[in-house]
Amino acid sequence: MSGEVQPAYREYCYACRRIRKHCLCADIRPFPTRTRFVILMHEEEAKKQKTGTGRLAKLCLENSELLVGVDFSRDERVAALLRDPAYVPFVLYPGPQAFNFKTLGPGAVPPGRTLLVFVIDGTWRTARTLLNRSPNVRALPRLSFAGSYLSQFRIKRQPQAHCVSTIEAIYHLCGEAAEAGWERPGPGREVLMDVFRKMVETQLGYARGRRRRREDNARR
């Protein structure tokens, strides 16, 4: 019914997209980066995932934006970013030809221009779909990690050991960028993992609560 007041347990925060009592916005302290991040969220991730980390990453990064879709080949905003001479674009995605901040030469981003990193947010299946349907993004040089990292996303099983969530990927990329002198080192990026860990602990609490209720029902 239109205008009906939602019960408290159903009220959502429209920023982090979580129920109000577990809103994470108070823990988010946005920090600046020299790198411009553009998070391309698969529409399936936007509609179905309640524990997706792309939105949380966007809220933590001052120099970022988030776009939702599947086929970005005709997306006006993506096209404008790719045309803009102020940027040098890459896509964050693994591959044998991928650069990292150790192999990216000092001339890769000329003075006066900004490194632009497209980050694909979705499951590995939907990420591949998005990349295949967006040849303008797929054609970009790839950027990845020099190190190997294990995901702390304990509420989800990753398809392979090296797979990490979107917010973890940005966290590790910022760390490697700082080590290589591409970013200013500092504690700001820790907010990414602080918010991520709180979200994971909240979801684990849900799971433990559900198990307890099932056990109580069984006893009755």
Pairing of strands 36-42, 114-121: parallel
Residue 117 pLDDT exceeds 90: yes
* Exposure string for 187-199, b = 16+ CB within 10 A, e = fewer: ebbebbeebbeeb
How far, rounded to the nearest angstrom, does the alpha carbon of residue 16 sit from its chain's CA centroid? 13
| Spatial distance between the Cα atoms of 208 and 104, rounded to a whole number of angstroms | 45
- pLDDT, residue 90, reads 98
Average pLDDT score, the chain: 84
Domain residue ranges of the chain, discontinuous segments joined by +: 27-219
Give the best-scoring range by mean pLDDT among 53-57, 119-123, 136-140.
136-140
Residue 66 pLDDT exceeds 50: yes
Helix (H, G, I), strand (E, B), or coil: what is residue 24? coil
| Spatial distance between the Cα atoms of 87 and 81, rounded to a whole number of angstroms | 7
Mean pLDDT value across residues 114-140: 95
- CA-to-CA dists, residue 92 to 47, 53, 178, 197, 217, angstroms: 23, 15, 16, 22, 47
Residue 16 pLDDT exceeds 60: yes
Pairing of strands 87-92, 142-143: parallel
| Spatial distance between the Cα atoms of 13 and 9, rounded to a whole number of angstroms | 11
Q: What percent of the chain has pLDDT over 70?
A: 75
Got the DSSP string for 27-94? G---B--SSEEEEEEEHHHHHH-SS-SHHHHHHHBSSEEEEEES--TT-HHHHHHHH-TTEEEEEE--
- pLDDT, residue 184, reads 87
Q: What are phi and psi of 38, to 5 degrees?
A: -120, 110
Paired with 66 in beta bridges are 39
By the 8 A CB rule, do 30 and 60 touch? yes
Q: What are phi and psi of 134, to 5 degrees?
A: -125, 75
